[in-house]
Structure 1
Amino acid sequence: MVCWAFECVGEPLQILKTHYPDEKRPETAVRLSMAWAEGKIKMPEAKKAILQVHAAAKEIADPADIALCHAVGQACATVHVESHAIGLPVYELTAIVHQHGIENCGPAIADKIQYYMKCLALCAQTTDAAPSRWADFLLDDSRPNKELLVFQKKQSQKQG
């Protein structure tokens, strides 16, 4: 999921750079989160940058660009918890709706979803082929999936 998030965050990042050339927080968050994913820095440094991207969204008036800031932040946070990955498409697709309008966004949404699927397939192949890029904590499949454990706990509470 981390590979996919970094692959897909490029377009939202580029749009923000174009609209706000002096705003460096999204780019900094991506750079530091990538360094974290590669084991070059520790979480607190990247986390601070990620929170700054979300703070930048509060300083922007355009709803599409606000959503893109959150998309970047969620993509970067995928390094910490894989379930943050869903935030990238949720926010980026929201930005597309704002850009095109609810009546006209269908084709752009469909194209973006196809892009996500293509990137996911590509990352599935390349991550296994070149695992040395990633920090050990990302490659450790023996660690419990925290989201799954929470889900299972909630399911068991409903049944019991």
Structure 2
Amino acid sequence: MNHLIQVQSHRTLVMWALDCAKQPLEQFEAKYPDERRPRVCLELCEEWAKGLIKMPMAQKAILASHAVAKEIDDREYGALSQAIGHAGATVHVETHALGLPIYELTAIVNKYGIDDFSEPVREKIIYYYNRLLYWHENTDKHEREWAVFLLDEHKHNSD
């Protein structure tokens, strides 16, 4: 899967990460319904990817999602908030896309324990792979706005 990630366009990885972050966000909010920072992170990063806001506003939201992990005494759900933060940060740099599965898979291991995580992790990896294949085929078929820096794959300006 790492190779498949490496050959994707930045836009495809943004679509994949923001899409895949919906499940950990749903899980997180089921336990912490009053904690809005992970949701705000995804919402603002979606706006950033569309060019509707600038990096500093999105970056503040990303850091706030990461801060949740330090503030709650919950390794599983802290890892979910980290996964969400990395999904949002994919808008800035495509390599952050790897943070989403790393942290979400960590949350799964924390949930199921060292003896029982194998099957849920395998299922999640298959899910990531299938979603990445979907976005590989469909990113440019979706009519949506893109920030200028995401339209030019060779330019690395994150404004």
- Secondary structure class of the residue paired with 2:71: coil
- Secondary structure class of the residue paired with 1:123: helix
TM-score, normalisation: structure 2: 0.87
CA distance in 2, matches of 1:124, 1:138: 15
TM-score, normalisation: structure 1: 0.86
Unpaired segments ≥5 residues, structure 1: 145-160
| From 76, 87, 111, the counterpart of 2:88 | 76
Q: Number of matched residues?
A: 144
Within a 5 Å distance, the mapping from 1:1-160 to structure 2 comes to: 1-130=13-142, 132-143=144-155
Pick 1 or 2: higher relative contact order, CA cutoff 8 A, min separation 6: 2
CA distance in 1, matches of 2:32, 2:122: 27
Higher radius of gyration, 1 or 2? 1
* Percentage of pairs with the same residue: 49
Aligned to 1:154: none
Aligned to 2:6: none
CA distance in 2, matches of 1:43, 1:60: 26
Q: CA deviation at 1:131?
A: 5.7
CA distance in 2, matches of 1:117, 1:47: 27
Q: CA deviation at 1:141?
A: 1.9
Aligned residues: CA RMSD? 1.1
